[in-house]
Amino acid sequence: MSTITAAITAVGGYVPDFVLSNKVLETMVDTNDEWITTRTGIKERRILKDADKGTSFLAIKAAQDLIAKANIDPLEIDLILMATATADMPVASTGVYVATEIGATNAFAYDLQAACSSFLYGMSTAAAYIQSGRYKKVLLIGADKMSSIVDYKDRATCIIFGDGAGAVLFEPNYEGYGLQDEYLRSDGVGRDFLKIPAGGSLLPTSLETVNDNKHNIIQDGKTVFKYAVTNMADASELILKRNNLTNDDVNWLVPHQANKRIIDATAHRMNLEDDKVLMNIEKYGNTTSATLPLVLYDFEHLFKKGDTIIFAAFGGGFTWGSIYLTWAYDKK
């Protein structure tokens, strides 16, 4: 029997219609377009304005887009991995609901949470299921409604985050294409630097936590930036060295879209030309679990069968890593 590798065979995506531009943010908090653009590379972000719609809405849209484009039967999907930091609600899995809503009733599903590294970790998980030989179609969705946990009076965070979703289908490959190697890490030292203080078992919801505004995301920007620059760059460089790859061997870098300066530092460490570094941060901001698949969604037309792609991400916790994958198809 031939060796099984796990390859991405289809991509889907979705972003809400409402555009929150830097100019609009200037009317909401003490900031300006030049300051935001210079420090983050972000010009605008998409926001899901409907109060009665959560992350599942974004995920369903992205999954439906993939299913339609790939012309697959949802009943053939074996597993759905829902990478998200903003589940619809505690306890009840968002992925389970998404699976039912898209008609994937033969699949089992669950949520995976590793902050901004959720999708990267999900790629590893999906590949392991495929390589086991037990499953043929694993749908990995990265989706977050970050606007639901952002305080739009906090200029340190409201300028960064947006809403969106992306999805990829992993299937067995017998030509050697797909996920080749991974380097994934975590460090609990980051627990206090990027978090939502209340709403969990440590500090349950109460009138006091609500009044003290402890249910929105907070971060120590300088500390997170320092760790992100170092660890994303280190992980990406290591994955190249471990696989005897040079910058000439790499066709594309797909980095987490948190901050353009972090992306630039990672690309510099890898000695990559600018035209190999894929970015859409200016349009969407940081969509957390959705950044990596949305990059694939926006730039799928550039990928050729056999292309070497390096993924890199860094998230709260701290969580980070890099994945080396070879592309398995030419877009029709």
Amino acid, res. 8: I
Nearest to 124, CA basis, from 140, 142, 109: 140
**DSSP 8-state assignment for residue 86:** S
Q: One of 216, 231, 259, 286 is an active-site residue; which one?
A: 286
Q: One of 22, 116, 158, 216 is an active-site residue; which one?
A: 116
How many C-beta atoms lie closer than 10 Å to residue 78's C-beta? 16
Annotated catalytic residue 244: no
CA pair distance 30, 153, nearest whole angstrom: 9
Who's near 330: CB < 8 A, 6+ residues apart? 303, 304, 305
Nearest to 232, CA basis, from 163, 291, 161, 282: 291
For the record, the structure tokens of 210 come out as 């609500």
Number of Cα atoms under 13 Å in the Cβ half of residue 295? 28
Annotated catalytic residue 116: yes
**Burial classification of residue 304, based on how many CB atoms lie within 10 Å of its CB (0-12 exposed, 13-18 middle, 19 or more buried):** exposed
How many C-beta atoms lie closer than 10 Å to residue 130's C-beta? 25
DSSP, collapsed to helix, strand or coil, labels residue 44 as: strand
Q: How is 243-282 classified by DSSP, letter by letter? A: TT--TTT--EEEE--S-HHHHHHHHHHTT--GGGB---HH
Residues in the chain: 332
**DSSP 8-state assignment for residue 315:** E
Who's near 134: CB < 8 A, 6+ residues apart? none
Q: One of 158, 231, 256, 259 is an active-site residue; which one?
A: 256
Q: Roughly what angle, to the nearest 10 degrees, separates helices 118-131 and 291-299?
A: 80
Q: Which residues are catalytic?
A: 116, 256, 286
